[in-house]
Structure 1
Amino acid sequence: MSEIVKANQKVQDVVVVSPLLKNLNLSSRYQANIHLKREDLQLVRSYKIRGAYNKISSLGKACLDKGIVCASAGNHAQGVAYSCQKLKCFGSIYMPETTPRQKIKQVKMFGGDYVEVFLTGDTFDDASSKAIADAAELGKTFIHPFDDPKTIEGQGTIGLEILQQFNEPIDYLILPIGGGGLASGVGAWIKEFSPNTKIIGVEPQGAPSMKLALDNKCNIALESIDRFVDGAAVQKVGNLTWKICEKVLDDILVVPEGLICSTILRLYNEDAIVAEPAGVLSIAALELMGDKIQSKNVVCVLSGSNNDITRMEEIKERSLLYEGLKHYFIVRFPQRSGALKEFVNDVLDSGDDITHFEYYKKSSREKGPAVIGIEVQKPDDLQRLQNRMTDRNFVFEYLNDKTDLFQFIV
């Protein structure tokens, strides 16, 4: 714990003590006392600067002179880039080719002439393998985004701040998990100094690598991941972090990507908070905790706000699908004049809206398939919509639950 205290003194050069604020909308929604630790308000818009700066600033002059190497899906890269600029150290930063453009631009801005960005592979793990190999070949220090004691200690300073800011007992602390650095550092501090607090880790459904490790009592890699929650899309957590999380976490939850998207939109619409998918993991988990948190003191770490605005359409789409308000069908229309008009007039209700339409005319067939996306007002409108299609003799196939077909549309 003394190392986290030392890290806290170091990071004062580059971080603000992020506010711990009660959120009235969330508190009302869940009938609890919900506070958000606003790490999205750091200069680099995420908590990652804490671990990156603590690690890099601990290196000797010889290591700094040789330069450093890191791999990141975005936020760690920004923390490393700013640390390089601050410490006048040259860094090579490896990022997946799928990294949002906004994050790449920010890395270059924070690092200036002190960093060079290399895009490689499709996932963090691809970029990490290349970065580690190049660091070894060039004799440079690799700055791990989560599986390093100094990185973990830097992230742990968030826990120190939380207990200084909150004067009442904390019933639940909810922490996002990607590689596990934040959960390890903060969890260790809270478990030591607030032992009655239940510490809950949260992962995206498309990349539950920590849950896999904890369930199997062995750190094994996921065969594949969904990269949508890019800041937490890790195939394999750290060997160090999973061992710490095994000791400090009381539970681990897995949150669907659609719920994450709904949480992003709700935060923006109700509180004017712009957050990235990984940033809202802990807040999205409130929806899964139900009665457990009623009348309880709950702290959620809002970990980052590096969201690319070009992703908002996909975020809205995923939210509508999760909420049961958007549905896709293949409808086989009779190939005659007026068939589509009949569908609109006889099948669609006043609150239904066609948001997607692709028609393929088949000259040698009686019917031609159309892919139709329909947005409804309430989830239970779906059954009535399907009943009307059946009653009017429209032949259709529902696509939302057909993963192989559905992925080509959304």
Structure 2
Amino acid sequence: MSNSPDVVVTKSTVPALDAQEIDAAIERIQHVIAATPLQYSDRLSALTGAHVYLKREDLQGVRSYKIRGAYNLIAQLNEAERAAGVVTASAGNHAQGVAFACRTMQIKGRIYVPANTPKQKRDRIRAHGGAFVELFMIGETYDAAAAAAAEDVAETGATMVPPFDDVRTAAGQGTIAAEILTQLDAPLDTIVVPVGGGGCIAGIATYLHERSPKTSIVGIEPSGAASMTAALVAGGPVTLPDVDPFVDGAAVKRIGDVPYEVVSRLGAAVVSHASLPLVARQLQTRSGSGSFVVNQIDEGAICTAMLELYQSEGIIAEPAGALSVAALQNLTFEPGSTVVCLISGGNNDVSRYGEILERSLVHLGLKHYFLVDFPQEPGALRRFLSDVLGPDDDIALFEYVKRNNRETGAALVGIELGSADGLAALLERMERAPMQSERLEPGSPAYRYLT
């Protein structure tokens, strides 16, 4: 951190966020970004009855849309700001965009990420930035990394490049909407957008509100990090006490002030699963202005969507990148309408697929865990297998918890069902079995150690 805190750097002017500014952002960034394809999905179209397209931002050079906002902001810095360098905090994808911009424009940058950022993302940050960036791993959440980045800026006079809470960042992300409108032959009826810090949906919603006002917008957050929902309910940004870090690209405790102002001004409404029939009716309204709703989806459904995208379309999406597709199971569209799902990123570490598969199986009702008290006698396990398991069920985990009792021994047993419909019959057979058993319910304190 070489800059002196006594150095005063004159800051460049921050523009207003509107469609005109997003058009200007296109001019600034079009020479460094890819015009990513809009891929038609036969599978998702058949599932929904709509014409579903996937906006493949995972095919950007940095494997996410974040390059758009990062480059747009840094490209507007004046000479003094560039000389002072830039600082950012990120869950990983924005950091890659900043690193790419720093190397391309030969600007020094310091990047702060949570310590649990996947190694794949850390490696890509270093690869994109080369000698122009320094990488620091701080805390367990984006918010901890952001606090460290803010201290850096206060000490050095460098320019902060926020991943979402800046008009210039949001304008860069909004270029996605402009690109989609040029790629479609039909009007865009609905767009489904992942929500983390809110910059992407703020930019997209701003552009569509002016240039395609009949388009309905659906923002999707992970249930374990629903900071936009919390803000809309509270009437302003609030800090969540904790978040589930699994969807690392969207695990933000507090939505940005700039995105919140935009989203609330454009009339976004929070809906729950119980309100989905209302959402369906809103999305089917083709006259007047399109609706703007924010909903949540649980992490298990996201994992299932990731696996289906890989197995069916060959798309390697990260958890945040699959948010929009995961949401389709809870939405109803007018038959034949045009729907776009934003695949926001593909920076997924392959070492995570074990956890992804586990969460998906639990979500689908195919995997269950029990504590079973086995008699310490020959043939006890064999009887359990023959008397309790169904013909298509399997033991996925078997570990003795303790064996200090001569007569019984408690074991942790994971059972993978052939069909989710088989759970009731399994529980009945376990009830009739001579050994005592206890089901570990998802969400219970003990269950957290399993997934």
User: Per the shorter chain, which TM-score range?
Assistant: over 0.9
| Structure 2 runs not aligned, ≥5 long | 1-18, 269-291
| From 76, 95, 119, the counterpart of 1:101 | 119
> What is the match of residue 146 of structure 1?
164
The answer as to 2:281 corresponding to 1:240 is: no
Identical counterparts, % of pairs:
45
Asked if the contact 1:184–1:244 (Cα under 8 Å) also holds between the matched residues in 2, the reply is yes
The answer as to 2:392 corresponding to 1:374 is: no
The answer as to 2:112 corresponding to 1:85 is: no
Specify the code of the residue in structure 2 equivalent to 1:256: D
SS at match of 1:221: coil
> What is the match of residue 115 of structure 1?
133
The answer as to 2:393 corresponding to 1:385 is: no
The answer as to 2:309 corresponding to 1:267 is: yes
> What is the match of residue 4 of structure 1?
22
**CA distance, structure 2, for counterparts of residue 346 and residue 178 of structure 1:** 47
The answer as to 2:91 corresponding to 1:49 is: no
Deviates more, 1:142-151 or 1:343-352: 343-352
- Deviation string 1:60-90 (CA, Å, 9 cap, x unpaired) is 1111111110000000000000000000001
**CA distance, structure 2, for counterparts of residue 406 and residue 361 of structure 1:** 18
Deviates more, 1:396-405 or 1:19-28: 396-405
Query: 1:268-287 to 2 correspondence within 5 Å?
Result: 268-287=310-329
Could you tell me how far 1:293 is from its partner in structure 2?
A: 4.5
Asked if the contact 2:48–2:333 (Cα under 8 Å) also holds between the matched residues in 1, the reply is no
The answer as to 2:145 corresponding to 1:127 is: yes
| From 349, 369, 382, the counterpart of 1:308 | 349
**CA distance, structure 2, for counterparts of residue 360 and residue 246 of structure 1:** 51
> What is the match of residue 94 of structure 2?
76
TM-score, normalising length: structure 2: 0.89
> What is the match of residue 214 of structure 2?
196
Asked if the contact 2:50–2:333 (Cα under 8 Å) also holds between the matched residues in 1, the reply is no
SS at match of 2:347: coil
**CA distance, structure 1, for counterparts of residue 103 and residue 441 of structure 2:** 47
CA shift in 2, pair 1:347/1:51, >3 Å? same
> What is the match of residue 360 of structure 1?
401
**CA distance, structure 1, for counterparts of residue 88 and residue 251 of structure 2:** 17
CA shift in 2, pair 1:131/1:361, >3 Å? closer
> What is the match of residue 333 of structure 1?
374
Could you tell me how far 1:215 is from its partner in structure 2?
A: 1.4
Asked if the contact 1:335–1:361 (Cα under 8 Å) also holds between the matched residues in 2, the reply is no
Could you tell me how far 1:389 is from its partner in structure 2?
A: 1.5
SS at match of 1:358: strand
> What is the match of residue 8 of structure 2?
none
The answer as to 2:220 corresponding to 1:179 is: no
> What is the match of residue 387 of structure 2?
346
Could you tell me how far 1:362 is from its partner in structure 2?
A: 2.9
- Deviation string 1:208-261 (CA, Å, 9 cap, x unpaired) is 000110111111111110000000000001111011011334111100000000
| From 204, 219, 234, the counterpart of 1:216 | 234
| Structure 1 runs not aligned, ≥5 long | none
> What is the match of residue 14 of structure 2?
none
> What is the match of residue 205 of structure 1?
223
Deviates more, 1:21-30 or 1:99-108: 21-30
| From 28, 36, 40, the counterpart of 2:58 | 40
Could you tell me how far 1:365 is from its partner in structure 2?
A: 4.8
SS at match of 2:152: helix
Could you tell me how far 1:136 is from its partner in structure 2?
A: 1.1
CA shift in 2, pair 1:312/1:43, >3 Å? same
**CA distance, structure 2, for counterparts of residue 362 and residue 355 of structure 1:** 21
> What is the match of residue 324 of structure 1?
365
Deviates more, 1:25-34 or 1:308-317: 25-34
Deviates more, 1:261-270 or 1:358-367: 358-367
CA shift in 2, pair 1:293/1:236, >3 Å? farther
SS at match of 1:190: helix
SS at match of 1:36: strand
Asked if the contact 2:219–2:295 (Cα under 8 Å) also holds between the matched residues in 1, the reply is yes
CA shift in 2, pair 1:364/1:20, >3 Å? closer
CA RMSD after TM alignment: 1.1
> What is the match of residue 64 of structure 1?
82
- Deviation string 1:172-201 (CA, Å, 9 cap, x unpaired) is 111111000000001110111111111111
**CA distance, structure 2, for counterparts of residue 10 and residue 402 of structure 1:** 47
**CA distance, structure 2, for counterparts of residue 271 and residue 123 of structure 1:** 31
Could you tell me how far 1:363 is from its partner in structure 2?
A: 3.5
**CA distance, structure 2, for counterparts of residue 402 and residue 156 of structure 1:** 37
Asked if the contact 1:52–1:83 (Cα under 8 Å) also holds between the matched residues in 2, the reply is yes
TM-score, normalising length: structure 1: 0.98
Asked if the contact 2:196–2:249 (Cα under 8 Å) also holds between the matched residues in 1, the reply is yes
Specify the code of the residue in structure 2 equivalent to 1:139: G
**CA distance, structure 1, for counterparts of residue 38 and residue 403 of structure 2:** 61
Aligned residues: 409
SS at match of 2:236: coil
**CA distance, structure 2, for counterparts of residue 312 and residue 294 of structure 1:** 34
**CA distance, structure 2, for counterparts of residue 402 and residue 43 of structure 1:** 38
